[in-house]
Amino acid sequence: MKKLAIVLSSGGARSFFHLGFLKVLQDEGVNIDLIVGCSGGALIGSLFANNVSIEDIKKEFYKISSRVSWFKPRIGKGFFSQEPIINIFKMLKSDVSFKDLKIPLIIVASNISKGFAESFSKGRIIPAVCASTAIPGLYSPVKIKNSYYFDGGLFNYTPSDIARKNIGRNNVVVSVDLSYKSAKNNIEHMNVVDVLRICALTVYKKCTFKIKDYSNLLITPFNGSDYNFKDIKTTVGFYSKKSLEKYYKMGEKAARKNLNKIMKLLKE
């Protein structure tokens, strides 16, 4: 049986798709040898790699208090604080080091001091997750040692190349890419979230070839979907319990649909 690496892309609230996807693999007894996560994928991948119950993850994120705290304003270089992420990890007993994880994990963040995507696989989990999820403009850059980091999606939205490098060319890489097309709005009517996402998508398009070239199986559930964060209501709605559950169910469905393909790849 070949080894399996799962790549979990950026995705914000859509990253709950990853959780549903992983749940089915777990239930079917599929052994995962490596998880490579970026941004929302890093957050979900870290908790899963630490063997946190998926029901406990859902329960914590579905709390109204948890979701409201994500939008707690702060004064500084970003609109919001990452303290809620830190608190969730502590609540779920995941303030641990990479070496403590049940599944090997690599987290990708954008080193803006040096201008490249950097992989983390040693040290404490929380700083790496915060670095990988620090969306420019919304959060302050995260300092680790002598460098500053922003969201991993800036330089490598779906890091299949990193998974391939670490799992080997003769093993299997399954990439879950949650990218989507940008809203077709007049730029004059876009808010800061729209503009930031368009910038990220522009960078993403330049590295799309990496995802296909380094993946044995590429899953793109939101390909062609159009997301428009035109006001605070739609933006907050994106993170509602209803939306999170919808993405989770989509992940379960996609995993079941692709399960036979994955098993076949592992046995080839």
Q: What single string gives the DSSP state of each residue in 215-262?
A: -SEEE-TTTT-EE---SHHHHHHHTSHHHHHHHHHHHHHHHHHHHHHH
Spans of the chain below 70 pLDDT: 64-79, 181-209, 224-238
pLDDT digits (tens, 9 = 90+) for 129-149: 999 999 887 888 999 999 999
Q: What is the pLDDT of residue 242?
A: 87
Among residues 86, 84, 78, 76, the alpha carbon closest in space to that of 150 is found at 78
Q: Which two tokens stand for residue 29?
A: 């007894």
Pairing of strands 147-150, 217-219: unpaired
Tell me phi and psi for residue 89, to 5 degrees: -65, -40
Q: What is the pLDDT of residue 240?
A: 81
**CA end-to-end distance (rounded Å), the chain:** 8
Q: What angle do CA 75, 81, 83 make, to 5 degrees?
A: 135
Q: Which residues of 227-264 are buried (b: 16+ CB within 10 A; e: fewer)?
A: bbbeeeeebeebbeeebbebbbebbbebbeebeeebee
- pTM here? 0.88
Q: What is the pLDDT of residue 62?
A: 85
pLDDT digits (tens, 9 = 90+) for 183-237: 555 555 555 555 655 665 555 555 555 788 999 999 999 875 655 444 445 555 5
